Amino acid sequence: MNASPLDASASNASDSKAPADWWKDFFTGLAMDFWRVAVPPEVTRAEADFLWRRLRLVPGARVLDVPCGAGRLSIPLAARGARVTGVDASEEGLTAARSDAARERADVAWVLADMRELPRDGSFDAVFCFGNSFGYLDDEGNRAFLASVSAALARGGRFAIEYGQTPESIFPRLVPRLEAEIAGIRFEEETRFDVLTGRIENRFTMSRGEVSESKLASQSVYTVRELVAMLGAAGLATREIFGSVAEEPFALGAERLLLVAEKS
């Protein structure tokens, strides 16, 4: 009988395990190049439309994008008139964001910071965390991030989170290996679930010509119920749950969870 990628034991749980701070130097080099081209423009437009609707944005609204990466969503929202601040821990990502924003003539404030270190002045009308960027930290760190989001939001402000690592999403379709090629970059992903830590462990290998990079990543796995409880503990009441930016209902096997919460 072949082993399942869900299988883990004390003897193999440390194999290919990412360090706790893997995200600090992951988004550089080919990894950054790949993530900048991996999402088609039409998907970005659809996500920006979703955020504009569900966060109830209007021109002049103060919006926080965290982590913002290379500004894939910060820039189109700023182009629509929102006052956007993008926060990320990757200097390389922010350098790319500044360049793209200048080319698009979009005015965005870029901040190099840990995602837990947000302004705690309640001045933002909306915050969002997209790009499957939640769960990088341990349980304490993930709760600290949500608390920081809540502190940054004005009362009645909305928070949208996109999360692809709920068991409801990943377990029905988890495969141990994926391969793709986008814009001349060869991409390989090896995935397993560590039952002892409750985390998805990934090894990503990217290559272009003679250059090849291999990097480890890891994300916490939370059920929808657990995530809603974490948000509630941070003072964020869940208002809407979707399975796509087309606002389809979330159901078992949905590719990702899109959840909108409100600061009470």
Mean pLDDT over the full length of the chain:
93
- Residue 53 structure tokens: 């609707």
**Is residue 6 within 8 Å of residue 171, measured between CB atoms?**
yes
Does residue 98 carry a pLDDT above 60?
A: yes
Question: What pLDDT, on a 0 to 100 scale, did the predictor assign at position 3?
Answer: 42
The stretch 70-74 carries a mean pLDDT of: 97
Question: What pLDDT, on a 0 to 100 scale, did the predictor assign at position 11?
Answer: 34
Domain boundaries 169-219, corresponding CATH code:
2.20.25
The stretch 77-91 carries a mean pLDDT of: 97
Counting residues of the chain whose pLDDT is more than 70, the rounded percentage is: 94
Does residue 5 carry a pLDDT above 80?
A: no
Categorize the per-residue pLDDT at 60 as very low, low, confident or very high, splitting at 50, 70 and 90.
Answer: very high
Does residue 43 carry a pLDDT above 90?
A: yes
Question: What pLDDT, on a 0 to 100 scale, did the predictor assign at position 173?
Answer: 87
Question: Which residues make Cβ contacts (< 8 Å) with residue 211, sequence separation at least 6?
Answer: 30
Q: What pLDDT digit, counting tens, does each position of 185-240 carry?
A: 999 999 999 999 999 999 999 999 999 999 999 999 999 999 999 999 999 999 99
Residues of the chain with CATH 3.40.50.150: 24-166+222-263
Among 167, 166, 175, CA closest to 258: 166
- Residue 96 structure tokens: 């790319």
What one-character-per-residue DSSP string does 153-208 give?
EEEEEEEEEEES--HHHHTTT--SEEEEEETTEEEEEEEEEETTTTEEEEEEEEEE
Question: What pLDDT, on a 0 to 100 scale, did the predictor assign at position 182?
Answer: 92
Does residue 18 carry a pLDDT above 50?
A: yes
Categorize the per-residue pLDDT at 15 as very low, low, confident or very high, splitting at 50, 70 and 90.
Answer: low
Question: What pLDDT, on a 0 to 100 scale, did the predictor assign at position 148?
Answer: 98
Domain boundaries 24-166+222-263, corresponding CATH code:
3.40.50.150
3-state secondary structure (DSSP) of residue 98: helix
Tell how strand 199-208 and strand 185-194 pair up: antiparallel
Residues of the chain with CATH 2.20.25: 169-219
Does residue 2 carry a pLDDT above 70?
A: no
Question: Which residues make Cβ contacts (< 8 Å) with residue 180, sequence separation at least 6?
Answer: 186, 187
Categorize the per-residue pLDDT at 7 as very low, low, confident or very high, splitting at 50, 70 and 90.
Answer: very low
Among 112, 96, 114, 103, CA closest to 29: 96
Question: What pLDDT, on a 0 to 100 scale, did the predictor assign at position 264?
Answer: 86
Q: Dihedral through CA 37, CA 38, CA 40, CA 45, nearest 10?
A: -90
Does residue 9 carry a pLDDT above 50?
A: no
Q: What pLDDT digit, counting tens, does each position of 109-161 carry?
A: 999 999 999 999 999 999 999 999 999 999 999 999 999 999 999 999 999 99
